[in-house]
Chains A and B, each alone.
Chain A
Amino acid sequence: MEGFNEQALAEKIVSKWEKTSEIDGVEIFFSKTRSLQATAENNKIKDCQESTESGFGIRIVTKGRGGFAYASGTNLELLEGTAERAYKIAKSTPKVEGLAIGGGGGVTYEQQAIFDPELDQMQPDQIISRTEEILQTAQNVDSRVVVDNILLRSSSSCDGIVSSSGLSFSFRSTANLPLIFCAANEGNKIGSFVEKYRLSTHNDIDISELATDGASLAVDGLKALKCEEFTGSVILTGHALSSILAWPISFSVCALNVQKQRSPFQDKLNEEVAAEILTVRDSPNLEHSLSAFPIDGEGNPTQEKAIIEKGVLKTFVHTQTTANRAQVSATGNATRLDALSFKLRSYNVPPTMPFPIVLTIPRTRKSLEDLTAEVQKGLLVHRFSGNVVPETGDFSGLVKQAYYVQNGEIKYPIKGTMISGNIYKALRGVIAVGGDLETPMGYTGVYHLPSLLFPPLSIKSQ
């Protein structure tokens, strides 16, 4: 992508508004993204598309009152009109305790950590060719493999924030998402569907390995059997943990949820909430992580920190406003996540929800095989399709790409099987942490998670 003048326009608007006496703060988040995407369906290339989008979101705080407005496109008239809209909203709303624009100083940024020129310059013929490679590789694994869906998306963004706290910062980032969804057919039998994807800021994903893994799991699924109903230990790999564990933890440590008394962790700071072997961190500077960023959604520096350390809850995560209310320092966790469109930083979302930027669980040296060896009778689950109630921790759903384990050995793949339990209870009983790593995308961003071995959960079968 070429450079752009959005930052200069934003500086002009902020400069104009911050001179107005009754304005406490002005913040403009701007974004320009070019996306290239190819899809395959039913064993053939389906579509290829290119889109560019630019836009900005303006937050104005006046006398403790805040308003937010956004628009796509970029020109001075549009920014001025949008700023007026934000101001009108701010004038209409009641005061919010602690409301403030963020944007402290001290930001360091290494572009190469989150920007890959190869992805920036990707062309349609290249992305089509890579999609064909995924398709061919998967089909070559076994003649029974049906590639149901492939999506390959490459994007390049210029984002930035200008605010009346003195911040004027722009950064370039790239994103790479290959995804394959496949199954295997044998006569009238369709095996379980397999979903495999990887996320990176760089063109460093081995798409052949991804395709081979997915297709192999699909063929494996043809042997799937129903298992009996029982209560047993369950190993959940990273992808399965994204909804069962990462989402409820992110929900519970969100300072806004704490302050609004809907978090089950609200009275538990410095108390034990998980097994001693479990540590959960926010690691916003992880190289090549899609969620990693030097600043949060309102311009405060993101910070490496322990959220749960050896089972003890160490911190909630804050925006500037929630930090002011709690009389603590901002933790650099304001997000602009558009969950509907799966955009990690979106100009049409105000930075009011704090979540971990990159939720991680430090790995051990134990392999997945080591964890499996500890299971007398239970399951190994790669994917979970179900629901979690974050206020209570209750979860239930179907296990996918899952295996029955007995006496420490994987016996056979399973189908038509559900697990249920309570994640906050299960956290206290985590038996082992693995050394493998998966990086799924969930409700609050991208997570970096090893497999975890949980104590017995309820297992039901059709």
Chain B
Amino acid sequence: MIESLHTIINKSRDLGAVFSEARYLKRDLTRLISQNNEFSEIKTGIIQGLGVRVIVNGRYGFAATSSESSLEQMVRQAIAIAKARTDPQGISIPEMPSHQESISASVSKDPADYSIEEKMNMLRNAEAAMQGKNVSSTRAIYQDFADVRGFVNSAGTELIIKDAKTEFIATTVVKEDGQLSPGVAFVSGTGGMEILEKKPPEDIARKALAEACDLMGAPVVPGGSSRVVLDHELVGLLAHEAVGHTAEADWMESGSFLKGKLGQKEASELITLVDAPAVNNASGWCIFDDEGTRGREIRIIENGIVNDFMNNLELAERLSLEPSGNARAWSYQDIPIIRMRNTFIKSGDFSFEELIADTKNGFFLVGAEGGQADKNGEFMFGTRKALEIKNGELSGKAFKGASISGNAFEVLKSVDGIGKDFKMDMGAGYCGKLQPAKVDGGGGMVRCSVLVGGT
């Protein structure tokens, strides 16, 4: 594999590239889905390929192929693209240290050592834990994938990176009087089966069942501006969706809310918001990015002050930032773009009970659904459950959650309490920004004001 990458670099140079990067990816995936105790999908597969990015005449060109026999054709395509461009922008070759390393995500129990039968039994046991009165439908999903990434560039960097992700998702649907009530729970992270040993699928399944039962017959949360306490999943989404995207240097440069705000106070002084290459076994593990840059921790907001931006080599140079290692590509066919990794709000001083007790009236919001953000700071993300807070106590009343929205920085300015328990809890999903990325998010629970889009 490394030889092929060097062949690509050499060929690129021969054809006139002043700089080139060659990447390889092999992704080995296994996925099982069981629904109502019947396996509707069991699949395994391998996707692999190569990509090259070149600089010719101050412009990038990129090409990729799944066929190793087409290496030269791929390089020629990339060179031709760079030459076909007539845009005035000139890319300069970035100054960068070179690295020669081989690193692997920590995996103590390799999923490849477990048979399909063992994985099937795990799902069977999980579905058994979801059985109960009025349960009409259960679904258990297991997935693992292992990536081998190779990277070589003409500056002398040579990297082999092995990543692994394992996850389990449980969904229960309860039915009463013709009405359906779903519940969802998941566990996900970087690593192997040890992730599911720490959080067993049966426990996850029981959590999904409990949620479905809690919300059966519950009304939708009342809408309007509200004081809320966000659980760890939602704090992750706040950090990632509402704030994080505006701090990606490409978004920032093109006019996101944070443009021109370096050094300014745009959040409560309680807020320190970080994007890190690794946090325990969180899903956004990225020690070296797909430009060969070693990742560093970015303190996007420190004590309420805008402090730093996530970047790639091109923007680090243009904006005089220290390279951060945030240039990521989902597959060999994708150009690396600035993506988040593990984004969190640092924990604070409040216990959960204190956060609730200090909230006169509002909601404790639990469970994240999908979210989106615009560059002007306007965000939306979904919540699954809302527990009423009345006079500083959980009243016991549960509502079906609704989407919440606001301007990210007005929300951050409204934060007056952060929980002391830290948890990364957003890893089962993917971020979408023209291509997927495995990310994670979380932090301490947060109390703030948002617009709740209920009835």
Contacts and interface: CB of A to CB of B under 8 A. Distances in A.
A185 B254 CA distance: 11
A415 B257 CA distance: 16
B39 A94 contact: yes
Contacts of B374: 192-193
B380 A398 contact: yes
A192 B405 CA distance: 14
Interface string B227-245: 0000000000000000000
A98 to B, nearest CB: 10
A51 B405 contact: no
Contact of B63 (A49, A72, A192, A260): A49
A116 B289 CA distance: 38
Interface stretch (B40-48, B148-156, B203-211, B341-349): B40-48
A55 B250 contact: no
Contact of B250 (A42, A52, A67): A42
Most chain B CB neighbours (cut-off 10 Å) among A51, A68, A88, A132:
A51
B136 A262 contact: yes
Contacts of B116: 88-89, 92-93
Nearest to A257: B137
A51 B64 contact: yes
Given A51-B63, A340-B436, A391-B182, A262 B255 contact: no
A262 B44 CA distance: 26
B283 interface: no
A264 B136 CA distance: 11
Interface string B123-142: 00000000000001101000
Interface stretch (A18-26, A303-311, A382-390, A434-442): A382-390
Given A68-B42, A96-B39, A352-B41, A458 B455 contact: yes
Contacts of A190: 255, 257, 375-376
Contact of A148 (B45, B51, B81, B375): B375
B58 interface: no
A72 B47 contact: yes
A415 B382 CA distance: 19
Interface stretch (B84-92, B292-300, B301-309, B356-364): B84-92
Contacts of B46: 70-72
Contact of B220 (A124, A185, A386, A420): A420
Most chain B CB neighbours (cut-off 10 Å) among A35, A97, A183:
A183
Given A92-B117, A124-B84, A397-B380, A350 B43 contact: yes
B60 interface: yes
B157 interface: no
Interface residues of B, number: 86
A67 B30 CA distance: 12
B21 to A, nearest CB: 13
A261 interface: yes
A375 B406 CA distance: 27
Given A50-B77, A392-B400, A69 B44 contact: yes
Interface stretch (B7-15, B65-73, B266-274): B65-73
Contacts of B407: 416, 462
6 closest Cβ pairs, A-B complex: A387-B382, A418-B453, A70-B45, A42-B254, A396-B453, A51-B64
Interface of B: 29, 35-36, 38-49, 51, 60-68, 70, 77-78, 80-81, 84-89, 115-117, 120, 136-137, 139, 173, 175, 178-182, 220, 223-225, 250, 253-255, 257, 333, 335, 369-370, 372, 374-376, 378, 380-382, 400, 402-403, 405-407, 430, 434-436, 451-455
Given A96-B40, A394-B220, 13 more contacts: A42-B254, A45-B87, A50-B78, A93-B42, A190-B257, A260-B139, A261-B137, A389-B400, A392-B179, A397-B382, A420-B455, A458-B223, A461-B451
18 contacts: A42-B254, A44-B88, A52-B65, A52-B70, A55-B66, A66-B42, A71-B47, A89-B42, A93-B39, A94-B39, A96-B39, A146-B254, A148-B375, A183-B375, A340-B436, A348-B45, A396-B220, A397-B453
